[in-house]
Each structure stands twice: as structure tokens, then as C-alpha cells.
Amino acid sequence: MKLFSATKIISAAMLFLLLAGVSARAASGDLKLEAQLVIGSNDTKPKDAGLKPVASDIGKKLKKLPLKWDHYYVVSEKKFSVGNGNTKKTSLSTQCDISVKNLGDQRVELTLASKGQNVGKITQSLHKGQTLVAGGDADNSIVVLRQAD
Amino acid sequence: MSEEQQLRLQAFLDGELPESDAREVLAWTQRDADAAALLTELRNTRAAIAKSELHLSVPETREFYWSKIEREIQKLEPVEKEIAAPILNWRRLLWPLGTAAICFVVAMMEIPRVNIVQPVAVVSQDTDETVVETDQANSDATTYRDEADGTTLVWFSAAADANPISGKMPGAIN
């Protein structure tokens, strides 16, 4: 006796493939991001001994920028995923909040907030390998945003 | 004699009546000649059938004999289903039609994403353009891009702020 007819098996397989395709499509629109709060310093060692230097690839990029510091240390780091059209808010410190909106096509809108007040908004593409660095308020803190590996 | 009376006589002969009813029928046949004649005829008929019934014997055991019949019936069952199938075709179509309906619904949900979201993206989003907005009064933003490295620096500064951007590469700052 047959448990399942061929029609049922084929239909179930089609449904499975369809759902898998939709899931893959939905997942493909997600952006996996990595945000770091980094402080710049001209001291070879940070004032806070607990801080670690930024990753070498980020360090190289930061050193190429026309900033006045030579050394960069990670204060905090957050990894998160933002769905297409969605916004993710996260705090990098008690005074620094960011909000990232996934605009699709690997474009993001980064909103920077300091001490609870919005500082500004940056909209640009953020493909793998691209890095967005934002700072302000005459502070030595900067936010580094890029796609997570 | 009514049909009901005839059937009652038959039931009496077959021993299917309760004792009180059987006594009534027996008394009735003794009073009524027609009833007595019919009862006699029925008895004779039953006896004749019983005598003429063939007594067949089979070489197999009883269980084996009936199992053969059972197997034959099982062989015939699919044929019966095939005959009945045209009437119940909708059941066969239930799965494919259900699947097609789900595919259609999902496709309809997916199509707006393709047709609506993408054109907006194409119109409003120019390749790698960086758009910067300041949210505070009397503030400014400086943007620097290192195309080769894929790095963009945006520095928000109030008018009185000391800008930390060094003079290393002033020409490259937008």
C-alpha cells in the first residue's frame, strides 16, 4: 500500500522549494553589520588599559583618513542584522547611539546620536569592504560601520 | 390471507417467533384450513430445498480456502477504485491545486517588491552617492572619501568646534 501518492510528493516538494526560495530571498535582503565605537589617540597605549586596538584592516583605513590621531582603540562593538526596509537602533555607549536603516541594494542610512540628541544622518552604499566612519561633537570618539564578515 | 399473515407463518416455521406468538400461530393453523395448507406447503418446500442442496467439499483447509477468496477480493479492489475515480477526481486535484494556489499567493506577494521597491531604489539612490544631513542648528558636516579604500568619513561639527580633521590631505576633503 502506498503511503503517499506521487502527486502529493511532487506538490510537497514544490512547496518546500518555494518556501526555501522565499526564505533565501528574504535573507538575501538582510544586511549583517558590525558597528564599533572607536576612540582616537596619539598615545601608543590607551588611557584605559582594557581597550584593545582596532583590527589591523580597520586601523589601516583609519590611518589613511585625514584625522589627527595615529592610534585607534575599540570601546565597544555590536554586530547585528537589519532586514530590508527595517531600522535597527543600538547603543554603543551611554552617550553614543546609532540607528541604521537598511534601504535595500546594500544602502544604509546611519543616524548618529550623542547624549540622546541626533547629530546627523548619513545615507550611502555600504557594500562588503566599504567602511563608513562618522564622528563629531569635537570628541575623539568615532563610529565605524561596515558589513560583518 | 394477508402478506403479513403469510410472513408470520414463515417466521413460525423458522422458529423466529416468541413462544406466546408461536402458540397463537399454532392455534390459528388448527382453526384455519388455508393457514394449515400454507404451513404444510412451506414445510414441504423447505424440506425439498434442504434435500436438493449440494454439499461441496474442497481439498484445502477452511482457512486456506477463505484466504484465497480474500486475496481475490483484494485484487479486485484497485479496479473498483479506478471505476470510482472519475467521480472523485477533485480529491486528486486537491494537492496540485492547493500547491498552485499557494504559489500564486506567494508570487503575488513577491511581485510588488520587484515592481514597486526597485524603481524607487533606482530613482532615488544614485550608485555610491553619500548624502549627509545635520540635525543640529549651526552645525556642519565634512565628508571625506577614500575611493580606493572604500572608506567614507563624515565629521559633524558645530560652528565653534575644533575640527579634528588634520591638514594631512586637505585637498581631498569635499
A7-63 pLDDT tens trace: 777 777 877 887 777 666 665 678 999 999 999 988 888 888 889 999 999 999 999
In chain A, which residues have their Cβ closer than 8 Å to the Cβ of B135?
A: 117-121
> What letters, b where the CB count within 10 A reaches 16 and e where it falls short, cover A45-56?
ebeeeebeebee
Facing B133 at nearest CB: one of A15, A121, A127: A121
pLDDT grade for B82, boundaries at 50, 70 and 90: low
- Which residue of chain A has the CA closest to B161? A138
Q: What is the DSSP letter of A86?
A: -
| Mean pLDDT calculated for residue range B33-59 | 86
Tell me which H or E stretch contains B70.
helix B62-84
Write the DSSP assignment of B1-64 as a string of letters: --HHHHHHHHHHHTT-S-HHHHHHHHHHHHH-HHHHHHHHHHHHHHHHHHHH------SS-HHH
pLDDT exceeds 80 at position B89: no
Interface contact A134-B117, CB threshold 8 A: no
| Interface mutation target, options A64, A114, A117, A127, chain B, most CBs of B under 10 Å | A64
Note the pLDDT of residue A20.
75
In chain B, which residues have their Cβ closer than 8 Å to the Cβ of A125?
A: 125, 127-128
- A117 lies within 8 A of chain B by CB: yes
Chain-centre distance for alpha carbon B50: 53
Facing A119 at nearest CB: one of B128, B135, B153: B135
Tell me which H or E stretch contains B152.
strand B151-158
Average the pLDDT over each of A61-75, A126-140, B83-97, B115-129 and give the range with the smallest value: B115-129
Give the CA-trace dihedral at A63, A67, A72, A75, to 10 degrees: -140
The model's pLDDT over B140-154, given as tens digits with 9 standing for 90+, comes to 888 998 888 889 999
- Which residue of chain A has the CA closest to B148? A130
pLDDT exceeds 70 at position B173: no
Phi/psi of residue A127, nearest 5 degrees? -75, 170
Note the pLDDT of residue B165.
59
| Mean pLDDT calculated for residue range A115-131 | 90
Interface contact B103-A8, CB threshold 8 A: no
Note the pLDDT of residue B97.
82
Please name the residue that has the C-alpha cell 545635520.
B134
Of B106 and A5, which is predicted with more confidence? B106
Note the pLDDT of residue A98.
93
pLDDT exceeds 80 at position B124: no
Note the pLDDT of residue B88.
59
- A2 lies within 8 A of chain B by CB: no
The cell numbers describing B76, all together, are 479486485
Max avg pLDDT among A83-97, A130-144, B57-71: A83-97
The cell numbers describing B167, all together, are 591638514
pTM over 0.90: no
Facing A66 at nearest CB: one of B96, B157, B172: B172
Question: ipTM score here?
Answer: 0.81
Q: Percent of chain B, pLDDT > 90?
A: 26
Write the DSSP assignment of A9-72 as a string of letters: HHHHHHHHHHHHHHHHHHHHT-EEEEEEEEEEESSSS-SSTT-EEPPHHHHHHHHHSSBS-SEE
- A132 lies within 8 A of chain B by CB: yes
Please name the residue that has the C-alpha cell 586596538.
A53
| Mean pLDDT calculated for residue range A58-74 | 91
Amino acid at A67: L
Interface contact B158-A129, CB threshold 8 A: no
Interface contact B136-A8, CB threshold 8 A: no
pLDDT exceeds 90 at position B134: no
pLDDT grade for A79, boundaries at 50, 70 and 90: very high
Side-chain-side CA neighbours of A88 within 13 Å: the count stands at 20
Interface contact B155-A136, CB threshold 8 A: yes
Of B165 and A134, which is predicted with more confidence? A134
Cβ atoms of A34 and A79 within 8 Å: the answer is yes
